[in-house]
Amino acid sequence: MTAGQRALPARAALGVAPAWQRAVTDHRHILFAVLSVFVFITVVYPLLQVAGRSVIVDGALSLANYAQVFALRRNWIAVWNSVWVSLVATVLATAIGVVSAFLVQRTDIPAKTLFRVLLVAPFAIPPLFSAMGWVQLAGPVGLLSQAWQGITGEFEVPWNIYGASGVVFVLAVTKYPFVFITVASALQRMDPSLEEAARTAGVPTWRIMRDITLPLVRPAVSSGALLAFVASIDNFGIPAVLGMRAQFYVLTTRIYEALTIPNMPLATAMSMLLVALAIVSMIGLRRAEGGADKYAVIAGKAVTPAVLKLGSWRPAVVIGLALAVLLITVLPLFALVLTSITTFWGADLVWANLTLEHYVSALTIPAARRGILNSLFLAAAAGVILVLTTSLISYLTVKARYRAASWLDIAGIVPFALPGSVIGVAMILAWSNPPIGPTLYGTIWILLIAYIMRYMAFGLQTTRATLQQIHVSLEEAALTSGAGRLRVLKDITLPLLRPGMVAAWVLIFISAFNELTVSVLIWTTGAETIGVWIFIMQDSGFSGRASALAVLTLPVILVLYLLMQWLTRLEERRAGRSKG
């Protein structure tokens, strides 16, 4: 077995192609060219359309569109409403998120996993469903309103779900998971020695939490809060169901209104205002995340930090948290189910009033059936296309170290910061009468491109993170074992990337399946989505049918949500083990 014994195939010693020839056949260049076209069509071109058309009137540069926005008081008010409603909702969401994250992560309450799953659940439930659920709970003849009337004997309830207060409240109870998730994970990853240092100095636990722990997770709190703020500005379903009826408009609903007229230039200019709002928020987000780096107290390891013993407070805290979860997560869904099986909204709960008629009539409408199929197809297709393309982009930037590919990465992340209404307007502008290619407006393909644009960031971030975790020596070991580049890709890189790809697909599927803000602007007959159709039924007063359709989609969302939870748990366990 000495070195000389195994003869190697003779090779022409100098048989290597010159550099220029290698450059042409280098697979990275071809890949990059194809992906560049893809990102240009789905992201860059539509964005250029909005930005360009907002300042062009009759073929000349002009700010007339913006002037038109500010000429009308209605528009002013919508801008202002968007800002203040999102701000107040964010403050409330932050309070709920921080307190619940702290209770679940750092105190001795029981059933933590159950609480965690229920607290994150609103993340997966479409905001439209929550809005509908809250109407059915707290609306004029809602369950809570009836209960209040029964208890107090008064006809007037001291709240109004329609209008600004309702919008703020429902935004807060649907957007707090952003804060919960970021703060809970920061609390979990915090270096325990920081707290232990205080503990050895004799500081009591609750003071450690107040003086050490909370200040250290502040960056996580602000980045979670900013995500909640951006999501609130972006939202359409909640202000549409709860606001429009009370003549309370925000930017997203105002754009919807402008497009039903339709006033395209106005919608375009208002989209640019939303972009401005989004940019300001994103700068804030970057700052907050930069702050997190500066502290550098979050160790990348899973540890079991000290737990605050609640003592005699424990039962009260647990009951309070359980009631809150019941109210926030369980009751709205319960109301949806109830509405879907009672003859009319507010009917007494007796056998005679129970019916499946809403399900039957909802499903006999061809458009609703189409909507379900379209949504399943679009969500699945957007997921597959995005997982494949973003894996390739991440492969170019992370593994092939292809410098130029970073523009794909940057361009692909931008739509994440853009409110859905902007994407909707961009799609209409780009695909109504494109200079080349078919008119996609009026087909479901415009929805597919819109979802691809909107969720490209999810794919990019997940696949990039996964690829970065695949240490380069794993691939080099295969190279030195005799495998060629493609073989390494197939045997090592792809199998290790697969869990990340599955996770990205699930995340994109759930998000696209629940999408409403964009869809409601660009759907057409034949190209309906389930969300749009539920909204239309709710908006035209058929809340029973709307609820029936919503209830039908819940199992899909629920199964995928649990799958997502399971995948992340799996991922965490694997990461924990490979460190140990």
Partner 1 sequence: MGVVRVERLAKSFGKVVAVDGVSFEIAEREFFSLLGPSGCGKTTTLRCVAGLETADAGTIEIAGRPVYRADAGLDVPPNERDIGMVFQSYAVWPHMTVFDNIAYPLRIRKIPQAGIAGRVAHVLRILGMTGLEERRPSQLSGGQQQRVALGRALALAPSVLLLDEPLSNLDAKLREQMRAELKLIQRETGLPILYVTHDQTEALAMSDRIAVMCEGRIHHLAPPEEIYRRPATAFVLDFIGSVNYLPCRLAGADDSSVTLLWREEAAITLPRPPHLPPGPDVLLAARPESWRFAAGSAGLPGTVVLRSFHGAGFEYRVRLGETEIRVMTPNDVRVSEGEAVRIVVSEGLLLEPDALSRPEARAA
Q: How far apart are CA 395 and CA 100, in angstroms?
A: 38
Nearer to partner 1, 18 or 315 (CB): 18
Judged by CB under 8 A, does residue 6 bind partner 1?
Answer: yes
Q: Which of 59, 110, 482, 555 binds partner 1 (CB under 8 A)?
A: 482
Nearer to partner 1, 317 or 483 (CB): 483
Q: Which of 74, 309, 401, 471 binds partner 1 (CB under 8 A)?
A: 471
Report which DSSP code applies to 399: I
CB 136, CB 121: distance < 8 Å: no
Nearer to partner 1, 487 or 569 (CB): 487
3-state secondary structure of 565: helix
3-state secondary structure of 354: strand
Report which DSSP code applies to 471: -
| Alpha helices in 209-304, H assignment, sequence order | 214-234, 237-242, 251-260, 264-295
Q: How far apart are CA 122 and CA 221, in angstroms?
A: 18
Judged by CB under 8 A, does residue 492 bind partner 1?
Answer: yes
Q: How far apart are CA 282 and CA 110, in angstroms?
A: 37
Q: Which of 91, 264, 330, 483 binds partner 1 (CB under 8 A)?
A: 483
| Alpha helices in 57-142, H assignment, sequence order | 64-71, 73-106, 112-120, 127-138
Cis peptide before 177 (omega within 30 of 0): no
Candidates 48-56, 130-138, 215-223, 467-475; binding stretch for partner 1 (CB under 8 A): 467-475
Residue where the block lists tokens 């109004």: 160
Judged by CB under 8 A, does residue 486 bind partner 1?
Answer: no
Judged by CB under 8 A, does residue 577 bind partner 1?
Answer: yes
Judged by CB under 8 A, does residue 579 bind partner 1?
Answer: no
Judged by CB under 8 A, does residue 2 bind partner 1?
Answer: yes
Q: Which of 26, 476, 570, 572 binds partner 1 (CB under 8 A)?
A: 476
Judged by CB under 8 A, does residue 495 bind partner 1?
Answer: yes
Nearer to partner 1, 312 or 480 (CB): 480
Beta bridge partners of 308: 107
Could you write out the DSSP letters of every residue in 277-311?
A: HHHHHHHHHHHHHHHHHHH--B-SS------B--G
- Stated as kind and residue range, the H or E segment containing 156 is none
Nearer to partner 1, 354 or 479 (CB): 479
Min dist CB 3 to partner 1, Å, is: 5
43, 15, 8, 131: which is closest to 450 by C-alpha? 43
Nearer to partner 1, 11 or 403 (CB): 11
Could you write out the DSSP letters of every residue in 341-369?
A: HBSSTT--SSGGGB-SHHHHHHHHSHHHH
Q: Calculate the CA 307 to chain-centre distance.
A: 31
Q: Calculate the CA 432 to chain-centre distance.
A: 27
231, 223, 191: which is closest to 290 by C-alpha? 223
Min dist CB 401 to partner 1, Å, is: 13
Q: Which of 299, 477, 562, 570 binds partner 1 (CB under 8 A)?
A: 477
- Give the footprint of partner 1 on residues 10-49 (CB under 8 A): 11, 13-14, 16, 18-19
Q: How far apart are CA 421 and CA 402, in angstroms?
A: 33
Judged by CB under 8 A, does residue 574 bind partner 1?
Answer: yes
Min dist CB 185 to partner 1, Å, is: 23
Candidates 2-10, 200-208, 283-291, 372-380; binding stretch for partner 1 (CB under 8 A): 2-10
Min dist CB 502 to partner 1, Å, is: 14
Judged by CB under 8 A, does residue 479 bind partner 1?
Answer: yes
Nearer to partner 1, 151 or 486 (CB): 486
Q: Which of 25, 364, 473, 525 binds partner 1 (CB under 8 A)?
A: 473
- Residue 506 contacts by C-beta under 8 Å, 6 or more apart in sequence? 383, 560, 563, 564, 567
Min dist CB 17 to partner 1, Å, is: 9
Judged by CB under 8 A, does residue 478 bind partner 1?
Answer: yes
Report which DSSP code applies to 567: H
Q: How far apart are CA 333 and CA 551, in angstroms?
A: 8
Task: Quote the Cα angle for 200-201-202, to 5°.
Answer: 85
Min dist CB 403 to partner 1, Å, is: 14
> How many positions of this chain bind partner 1 (CB under 8 A)?
34
Nearer to partner 1, 19 or 436 (CB): 19
Amino acid identity for residue 335 in this structure: A
Judged by CB under 8 A, does residue 468 bind partner 1?
Answer: no
Q: Which of 25, 260, 525, 578 binds partner 1 (CB under 8 A)?
A: 578
Using the Cα atoms of residue 222, residue 225, residue 231 and residue 235 in order, give the sign of their dihedral. Answer: negative
Judged by CB under 8 A, does residue 364 bind partner 1?
Answer: no
Min dist CB 458 to partner 1, Å, is: 24
CB environment 373-385: b (16+ within 10 A), e (fewer): ebbbebbebbbeb
Judged by CB under 8 A, does residue 108 bind partner 1?
Answer: no
Q: Which of 27, 29, 210, 487 binds partner 1 (CB under 8 A)?
A: 487
Nearer to partner 1, 13 or 24 (CB): 13
Judged by CB under 8 A, does residue 151 bind partner 1?
Answer: no
Candidates 164-172, 291-299, 491-499, 534-542; binding stretch for partner 1 (CB under 8 A): 491-499
Candidates 36-44, 401-409, 515-523, 572-580; binding stretch for partner 1 (CB under 8 A): 572-580
Beta bridge partners of 2: none
CB 508, CB 389: distance < 8 Å: no
Residues of this chain that interact with partner 1 (CB under 8 A) are 1-6, 8, 11, 13-14, 16, 18-19, 471, 473-474, 476-485, 487, 491-492, 495-496, 574, 577-578
